[in-house]
């Protein structure tokens, strides 16, 4: 390569966004496209990719593995649920686990994943580890998709300050041909197909060097059968779990119950408020008051097109306001949370004050009447 040409580029190559962010975004896009439920990140280092992935709503199980426990521990607290996760539990369940161990060893906790990511990992493996890696990832874990990224050594000539490798811990860096021949052979051995791409475009005129980071996306060709997982003879766990977080989820009955109770009370309060304001309006006019019938009109805007039966109307009797549970159940959010009317009744039983026959939420308005 022309020396001046090279110097010109080595001065200006700066990726925006930074390359590590482009790699993580690449994985995120893949997750959005294929919607895996269970994702494992091998060589997860400071957990920054895992942190990004916890916001992907399709993921229910996230696992990280690294041979260096300290690097994982540095920021693993960022994977813990926040107060807001408890205040507003999500509809999906999410468990995040970090394991300390090597990709050269098999552990049953790594079975059953849909997507396995190995971002800038393989170049850190010793020769003996790299030899075992395909059997562990493609043979044993056998996820539907594997993503492997690694530096493209052909790009190094454009990077300032890179003498041999980009990082002192790298054991090798491969050219495009070297990576592709390893990847194709691995895919062939384990019945996967592989597509090559990358992030970090070369400058115009230098397209031949390829992407700065080369990426192989492997797709398992055979369908995963329950049998292949079960046929694995029981094996010993060799990884050490260093972190586990179970996020609050509405799939857990105790969080669902809290959410339903709050939503039922909130909805009932809105209906009651509408009813009382309407009543007040009428109370100024004795003639209208005598004709006052609390009707669905006063909150029809909340009910939209719902078909309302007579027994769904809220009513006032003495100092009590009654909001039928059927009416509350017809509100979309309550309906979605509970699924069935029976479930609604079950979840709020004993937690919300109801009429004697249990068909309506009851509020005492004696105090409110006094205030008025
Ligand atoms: N994947 C991260 C960073 C990778 S750096 C990212 O995208 O930013 C490589 C990581 O692999 C390091 O954290 C290193 O500790 C880990 N590693 C090296 N050898 C390993 C092995 N045999 N098993 C598991 N992790 C390993």
**In this predicted model, what pLDDT tens digit does every residue of 127-176 receive, in sequence order?**
999 999 999 999 999 999 999 999 999 999 888 788 889 998 999 999 99
Q: What residue's CA is closest to ligand 1, atom 23?
A: 102
Q: How many CB atoms lie within 10 A of CB 315?
A: 14
Atom of ligand 1 nearest to the CA of 24: 7
Instruction: Residue 199: name the closest of 215, 183, 219, 184 by CA.
Output: 215
Q: What's the 46 CA to ligand 1 centre distance in angstroms?
A: 9
3-class SS at 340? coil
- The per-residue pLDDT for range 319-359, each reduced to its tens digit, is 999 999 999 999 999 999 999 999 999 999 999 999 999 99
Contact assessment for residue 320 and residue 354, using Cβ atoms and an 8 Å cutoff: no
Atom of ligand 1 nearest to the CA of 104: 22
**Ligand 1 first shell, C-beta below 6 A:** 20, 23, 42-45, 49, 65-68, 71, 102-104, 119-121, 124-125, 129
3-class SS at 360? strand
Confidence at residue 296, expressed as pLDDT on a 0 to 100 scale: 45
Q: How confident is the model at residue 227 (pLDDT cuts 50, 70, 90)?
A: very low
- Whether the pLDDT of residue 187 is over 70: the answer is yes
Dihedral over Cα of 149, 153, 159, 164: its sign? positive
Q: What residue's CA is closest to ligand 1, atom 9?
A: 121
**Cross-strand partners of 317:** 320
Q: How confident is the model at residue 277 (pLDDT cuts 50, 70, 90)?
A: confident
What does the longest C-alpha to C-alpha distance in the chain come to? 97
Q: What residue's CA is closest to ligand 1, atom 10?
A: 43
pTM of the model: 0.85
Atom of ligand 1 nearest to the CA of 72: 13
Q: What's the 103 CA to ligand 1 centre distance in angstroms?
A: 9
Instruction: Determine the Cα–Cα distance for residues 149 and 41; give it in Å rounded to an integer.
Output: 12
Residue position matching structure tokens 């580890």:
129
Looking at domain 19-247, does it have CATH number 3.90.1280.10?
Answer: no
Contact assessment for residue 213 and residue 149, using Cβ atoms and an 8 Å cutoff: yes
> For residues 366 and 174, which has the higher predicted lDDT (pLDDT)?
174
Q: What residue's CA is closest to ligand 1, atom 16?
A: 43
* Distances, alpha carbon 118 to alpha carbons 64, 102, 149, 301, in Å: 10, 12, 6, 52
Instruction: Determine the Cα–Cα distance for residues 199 and 23; give it in Å rounded to an integer.
Output: 7
């Amino acid at each position: 390569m022309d020396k001046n040409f090279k110097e010109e580029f080595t001065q200006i190559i700066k990726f925006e966004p930074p390359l590590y962010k482009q790699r993580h975004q690449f994985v995120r896009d893949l997750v959005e496209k294929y919607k895996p439920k269970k994702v494992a990140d091998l060589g997860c280092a400071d957990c920054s990719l895992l942190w990004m992935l916890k916001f992907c709503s399709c993921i229910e199980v996230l696992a990280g593995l690294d041979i260096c426990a300290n690097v994982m521990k540095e920021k693993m607290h960022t994977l813990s649920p926040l107060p807001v996760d408890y205040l507003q539990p999500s509809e999906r369940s999410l468990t995040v686990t970090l394991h300390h161990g090597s990709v050269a060893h098999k552990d049953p906790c790594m079975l059953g994943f849909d997507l396995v990511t190995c971002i800038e990992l393989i170049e850190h493996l010793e020769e003996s580890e790299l030899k075992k890696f395909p059997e562990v990832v493609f043979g044993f874990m056998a996820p539907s998709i594997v993503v492997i990224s690694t530096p493209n050594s052909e790009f190094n000539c454009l990077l300032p300050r890179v003498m041999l490798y980009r990082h002192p811990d790298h054991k090798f860096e491969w050219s495009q041909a070297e990576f592709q021949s390893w990847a194709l052979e691995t895919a062939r051995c384990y019945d996967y197909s592989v597509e090559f791409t990358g992030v970090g475009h070369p400058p115009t005129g230098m397209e031949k060097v390829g992407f700065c980071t080369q990426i192989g996306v492997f797709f398992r060709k055979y369908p995963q059968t329950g049998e292949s997982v079960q046929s694995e003879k029981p094996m010993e766990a060799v990884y050490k779990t260093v972190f586990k977080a179970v996020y609050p989820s509405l799939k857990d009955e105790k969080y669902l119950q809290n959410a339903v109770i709050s939503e039922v009370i909130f909805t009932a309060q809105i209906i009651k408020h509408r009813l009382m304001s309407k009543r007040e309006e009428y109370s100024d006019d004795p003639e209208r008051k005598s004709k006052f019938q609390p009707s669905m009109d006063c909150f029809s805007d909340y009910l939209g097109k719902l078909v309302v039966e007579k027994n769904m109307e809220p009513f006032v009797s003495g100092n009590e306001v009654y909001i039928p549970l059927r009416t509350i159940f017809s509100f979309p959010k309550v309906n979605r949370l509970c699924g069935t009317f029976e479930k609604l009744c079950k979840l709020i039983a004993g937690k919300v004050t109801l009429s004697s026959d249990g068909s309506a939420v009851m509020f005492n308005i004696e105090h409110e009447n006094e205030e008025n």
